[in-house]
Chain A
Amino acid sequence: MRLSDLIDVEAGTLSRASFASEEIFRRELERVFARGWNFVGHTSQLPKNGDFFLSRCGTETVIVSRDEQGAINVLLNSCRHRGMPACRYDSGNGNGFICSYHGWSYGLDGALTGVPRFKERYQGKLEREKWGLVRARVAVFYGSIWATFEEAAPSFEDYLGADMQFYLRALLQGPDGEDDGYEVIGGIVKWQVPCNWKFGAENFAGDHYHGYSHISVERLSVGLSGKTSRHNFAGVKVKQQPTFVADPARGHTIRASVFAALAPYDDQEAASAEVNDYYRRSHEKRQQRLGDKSRLLIRGGVIFPNTHFNSAGRTTIGLWLPLSAGRTEIWRWLFVPRNAPNAVKETLREYYLRYAGPGGMVEQDDMENWTAAQRGAESLVSRRYPFNYQLAMGLERRARPDEWLGKDVTITEDVTEHNQRAFYGHWARLVADAS
């Protein structure tokens, strides 16, 4: 499979087969998902030793656990004897896992601790140290937990690159700019959509062109600004420059606003006095802590390939999990600032629930549109015609308005498909055969 079967970089087009072909899907699993780093959860989900929860690395179910020493482990949830899940609970606390088939048992760190009939029928010879649950490489980055089973993958820090380390760290800073400032609300939202995973990925990567999808919520007041909008920053008066940042060599993308000046708080959470007070105090602390860089407002983005996030007063991190070319499972973690009063956490929680996921008044229209786009990628005649990614093509630049926005990244200001082009450019190089 040649690169030109997938993408035409010069023309800014992508084949529809990229979304519908099972062969391309199989290549993605091997070359994109199995080789990358995956977000699997957050340390706030494991407050105590013995805590565990199930997560996913691409197609694989993994156990994320905190062992007796307090270390975090990510284990392939597949018994080494017959492949059964060693753990069948979404979350819990315990001292290990027992496979329900033949009773092999494992410690929280994956070590094979118990084998029935070990002495008499394995004659004590089974090398238990070699038959523990497969352990992933793990990285903890400002509270977020990442894993890969690929030995050849670079370190997580190199996988991110210096610029995306800055953005991911910023995403995980609380509203007051404190590092690792968020905690997960209990319960991961999980649902399935009959479309290719990349429709979600490209939307989160940089699609601010799809305002038309959401005109129904823009009529209403869904956000916390007290104004008619789905967003909280609707009331901010200081000029903000929509800014799209991509790392073309790694495929990561960020959507952001950069404010023209350091400005006082603008009552953007005015729907509730207590929430507004919290954000005012946080805004001031953040400016003190981060200085000029506090002009950055991350709106969202994608850590390649399938970890996606939203921000700007609505911090959620999620996964597009590939089930087949035409079906995707979505997982979504909801975050609230650790140090916020309970009333603030509660207001944010309700905002997330009416905004995001299958019950979310905003994202429902995204899911509807991606499902319909999938049909457009599948049918025999329509799939002969590529998708168009030419929006604001040629306007990206490396000369940045602010040095701290990064050195390896390309940037386009205002509405563009620059981030989608970077995402698909990297994706296509991985999926195609090396030329």
Chain B
Amino acid sequence: MSQDRNSALDRLLLEAEIERFFSAEAELLDERRFDEWLALLHDDIRYWMPIARNVRFNQPEREYTREGAEANWFDEGKDTLKKRVLQIQGGDHWAEEPRSRTTHLVANVRVDSVAGSDVTVKSRFIVCGFRLEHDVDLFIGKRVDVLRREQAALKVLRRTIYLDQSVLLSRNLTTFF
């Protein structure tokens, strides 16, 4: 086989592995196996979801609020994510008690770059949340993940979540993305 073909196959295998990783991750969230989900996150994870702004066409850098400096929907590390899980698991976090039924779809998965043990992956997501009798949440957007391979396992080192809404049309963000 040619060198090109080998490298294309490597890329396909990597993308297939990452798609399976994201599908399994989504299943953990939808089955509320949050401790197992936390185990997929690197201890140094940065979990960042900026707020979209309506700006002039020639200022795309201002469209999303900045990490580490401005208001964001989320901008946190693993300590806070663990607390969110503990909060949901207690049965006394009313915004998730009784719990929402969620479905996480991840699509258009594409490896953007590989650097050493880190893989940068772009994807699209649809997260549906149905809660109590009548409440519907629909979150659609784009994700950029940096996955780090450690001892053969992939861990999420960075997750950037670009939600397409600017004013959030849901009252709460109690699900993970």
Query: Is A353 interfacial (CB-CB < 8 Å)?
Result: yes
Cβ of A90: which chain B residues have Cβ within 8 Å of it?
53-55, 166
Q: A91-B55, A92-B55, A213-B94 are in contact. Are A194 and B171 (CB under 8 A)?
A: yes
B168 near A186: Cβ-Cβ < 8 Å = no
A206 to chain B, nearest CB (A): 21
B69 near A191: Cβ-Cβ < 8 Å = no
B93 near A365: Cβ-Cβ < 8 Å = yes
Task: Number of A interface residues at 8 Å Cβ cutoff, please give it.
Answer: 42
Main secondary structure of the interface of A (DSSP, over half): mixed
Residues of B71-129 whose CB lies within 8 A of A: 71-76, 80, 83-84, 86-87, 90, 92-95
- CB-CB nearest in chain A for B55: A89
- CB-CB nearest in chain A for B132: A372
Q: A88-B54, A91-B53 are in contact. Are A192 and B167 (CB under 8 A)?
A: yes
Q: A90-B54, A350-B76, A368-B95 are in contact. Are A191 and B168 (CB under 8 A)?
A: yes
Most buried by A among B70, B86, B95: B95
Cβ of B53: which chain A residues have Cβ within 8 Å of it?
90-91, 187
Contact code string A211-239 (vs B, CB < 8 Å = 1, else 0): 00101110111100000000000000000
A216 near B87: Cβ-Cβ < 8 Å = yes
B177 to chain A, nearest CB (A): 11
A364 near B174: Cβ-Cβ < 8 Å = yes
CA A371 to CA B95, docked complex, whole Å: 10
Cβ of B50: which chain A residues have Cβ within 8 Å of it?
187
A353 near B69: Cβ-Cβ < 8 Å = no
Task: Number of B interface residues at 8 Å Cβ cutoff, please give it.
Answer: 40
Contact of A358 among B56, B86, B93, B171 (CB under 8 A): B171
Query: Is B23 interfacial (CB-CB < 8 Å)?
Result: no
A359 to chain B, nearest CB (A): 5
Query: Is B60 interfacial (CB-CB < 8 Å)?
Result: no
Cβ of B167: which chain A residues have Cβ within 8 Å of it?
190-192, 329
B94 near A365: Cβ-Cβ < 8 Å = yes
A51 to chain B, nearest CB (A): 13
A361 near B171: Cβ-Cβ < 8 Å = no
Q: Which A residues fall within an 8 A CB radius of B?
A: 88-92, 185-194, 213, 215-217, 219-222, 329, 332, 334, 346, 349-350, 352-354, 357-359, 361, 364-365, 367-369, 371
Which 4 A-B residue pairings sit nearest by Cβ, starting from the closest?
A: A187-B71, A186-B70, A187-B65, A191-B168
